[in-house]
Amino acid sequence: MYLAISTDFKLHIFNEHLHHIKAIPLKIRLISFAYFYEKESRLITAGIDGCCMFDFQFICKYEPKQALLLDPEGHTMDFKLGPKIKLEKMPLWIKGLKVDEHQGTIFTWS
């Protein structure tokens, strides 16, 4: 599964063949960087609104990889973003984002 954010601030979800499955509005503006932390299923965004995290829920009968194999068009899948969690003590306008999964650290700079 691949994720992309468009200029109209929607999260677009694609299968492995880059077939568009769904678009979800993010309700956040001017995102410069996005990172999907697959281990905890979280989307981390950074931009003019600071650094935020969203829980990403994949709703289907099967595991995500199995579901994409059985239904590559995504007709039986649904996706949901949890509420926006704004990270504290981050600059308001973030110009760079780096996530170190091994250390559990998010680096931002402005």
What digits encode the pLDDT tens for the residues 15-28? Answer: 888 889 899 988 88
| 3-58 pLDDT per residue, tens | 898 888 899 999 888 889 899 988 887 888 999 998 889 999 999 889 999 999 98
pLDDT at 46: 92
Report DSSP state, residue 103: T
pLDDT at 59: 87
Interatomic CA distance for residues 90 and 78, integer angstroms = 32
Q: Where are the domains of the chain?
A: 2-109
Backbone angles phi, psi at 63, to 5 degrees: -65, 150
Q: What is the pTM of this model?
A: 0.82
Q: What is the mean pLDDT of residues 61-84?
A: 83
**Among candidate residues 26, 56, 24, 28, the one with its CA nearest the CA of residue 43:** 56
pLDDT at 45: 92
